Amino acid sequence: MDKRLYSIETPCYVVDEKRLTENLVILRDVANRAGCKILLAQKAFSMFSVYPLIGRYLDGTTASGLFEAKLGNEEMGKETHVFSAAYMEKEFDEIVKICDHISFNSFAQWQKYGKKALDAGRSCGIRINPQHSTQEHGIYDPCAEGSRLGVTIENFRPVLLEGIDGLHFHTLCEQNSDALIETVAAVEEKFGEFLPQMKWVNFGGGHHITREDYDREALIDCILRFKEKYHVEVYLEPGEAIALNAGYLVTSVLDIVHNGIDIALLDASAACHMPDVIEMPYRPPLWQGGEPNEKAYTYRLAGATCLAGDVIGDFSFAQPLSIGDKLVFMDMAIYSMVKNNTFNGMCLPSIAVLHESGELNIIRKFGYEDFKGRLS
């Protein structure tokens, strides 16, 4: 681990430019070989100070609504896509001005907004739900029973397809290409007759393309075959894969208490600064931290908020922890700074970049005004 991380004021998210670039090189290579376009899904990672770097490798951004669309358009440029489960009337005029592709979650939304989008020369799509679940995490499964995301084949309205250029599906989460291949088969089975009349098909996100065990050749074959069969442009819009394993959350031990177990209180909080730890739930990797009892000294690592459940997990260390020690959580670029909050009046972690040159730059610090500014 880079020594410079241990001299930084905590708590701080640090994005590692070298690792980010390694991911981007992989994604560019996939896009070139598959002949597809790859967008950054900003929902996972919206650190706009590195958008110029990302824009050198990817084709643009996708957004879940107006604010993300504006951010992508302002800070990266290139293609700006948007999908919202339901657009807000007061926002749509601005969306139409900046978004190249606009995907709708229902035919009612298409009927309501389609003319505005087409008049502005925008390319419109319908999100479909192939009703083929490939994962267990209910809250991250858009194909789960009762899902509001995407039009099922029962509700599909072929008579309303005039003006629609594309179909969009997003059903995966942290998955390998085998899950995509199954999903594409389900899409073809249910919606295959409509594919030849499309200009593009967006395969959504959830593709863990930059993970070590990801089968990229199978992904590329799948896209090439699809393009050849239907003569469409294929888009992927991963979020996680762009900044996977490319960031850290550096934190300090504030106090150590004992209650059946040794508990280290940190200046980083699961509830505020890594909410997926509680929501998913998952155990974040910690540099030099082992499983409980794997090394000599086991501690429960916890936030300094009043929430009893603000626990990051139990980890073991070769040496006892001391107050003031710094700990480095890994894989903290994605779904972290986009989801954090100031619950309990906790300060937001600073945001820094570790440049390829070795220089460590703090880009943004937060303070009391950020807490107060979103309340009244």
Q: How many residues bind ligand PLP (CB under 6 A)?
A: 14
Q: Which of 24, 76, 102, 173 binds ligand PLP (CB under 6 A)?
A: 173
CB closer to ligand PLP, 242 vs 328: 242
Q: How far apart are CA 187 and CA 345, in angstroms?
A: 46
CB of 323 to ligand PLP, least distance (A): 36
Closest separation between CB of residue 373 and ligand PLP, Å? 27
With respect to ligand PLP, which residue has the nearer C-beta, 106 or 305? Answer: 106
Between 41 and 327, name the residue whose CB sits nearer to ligand PLP.
41
| CB 350 to ligand PLP: min, Å | 24
Is there binding between residue 60 and ligand PLP (CB under 6 A)? no
Cβ 127 to ligand PLP shortest distance, Å? 8
Q: Is the peptide bond before 11 cis (omega within 30 degrees of 0)?
A: yes
The rounded distance, in Å, linking the Cα atoms of 46 and 44 is 7
130 binds ligand PLP (CB under 6 A): no
Is 240 annotated to bind ligand?
yes
Do the beta carbons of residue 276 and residue 339 sit within 8 Å?
Answer: yes
Q: Report the DSSP pairing between strands 262-266 and 164-168.
A: unpaired
Q: Which is nearer to ligand PLP, 43 or 122 (CB)?
A: 43
Least gap, CB of 154 to ligand PLP (angstroms): 21
Burial (CB count within 10 angstroms: exposed 0-12, middle 13-18, buried 19+), residue 88: exposed
Interface positions, 175-204, toward ligand PLP (CB under 6 A): 204
Out of 11, 55, 125, 239, point to the residue binding ligand PLP (CB under 6 A): 239
| Two structure tokens written together for 126 | 């319908």
Which long-range CB contacts under 8 A does 370-374 form with residues at least 24 apart?
A: 370/342, 371/342, 371/345, 371/347, 374/342
Which residues between 8 and 47 bind ligand PLP (CB under 6 A)? 41, 43-44
Strands, E assignment, the chain = 12-16, 37-41, 60-63, 79-83, 101-104, 123-127, 164-168, 200-202, 233-236, 247-258, 262-266, 297-303, 311-317, 326-330, 350-354, 360-364
Shortest distance (Å) from residue 161 CB to ligand PLP: 20
Q: Which of 329, 318, 252 is nearest to 287 (CA)?
A: 329
Selected from 11, 130, 206, 275, the binder of ligand PLP by CB under 6 A is 206
Which of positions 65-124 make contact with ligand PLP (CB under 6 A)?
83
Cβ–Cβ contacts within 10 Å for residue 188, how many? 15
Asked if the bond preceding 281 is cis, omega within 30° of 0, the reply is yes
Min CB(84)–ligand PLP separation in Å: 9
- Of 218 and 321, nearer to ligand PLP (C-beta) is 218
170 binds ligand PLP per the rule CB under 6 A: yes
Question: Of 55, 60, 72, 238, which lies in the binding site for ligand PLP, with binding defined by CB under 6 A?
Answer: 238
Nearer to ligand PLP, 48 or 297 (CB): 48
Decide whether 204 or 349 has the Cβ nearer to ligand PLP: 204
C-alpha pair distances (Å), 114 with each of 73, 149, 231: 21, 19, 24
Neighbours of 332 (CB within 10 A): 27
Instruction: Establish if 240 lies at the interface with ligand PLP (CB under 6 A).
Output: yes
Least CB distance from residue 44 to ligand PLP, whole Å?
Answer: 4
Q: Rounded distance, CA 228 to CA 250, Å?
A: 47
Report d(CA 97, CA 132) in Å as an integer: 35
- Distance (Å, whole) CA 171 – CA 173: 7
Residue 29, annotated ligand binder?
no
Q: Residue ranges for the binding site?
A: 240, 276
Extract the annotated binding site for substrate: 240, 276
- The contact set with ligand PLP (CB under 6 A) reads 41, 43-44, 83, 170, 173, 204-206, 237-241
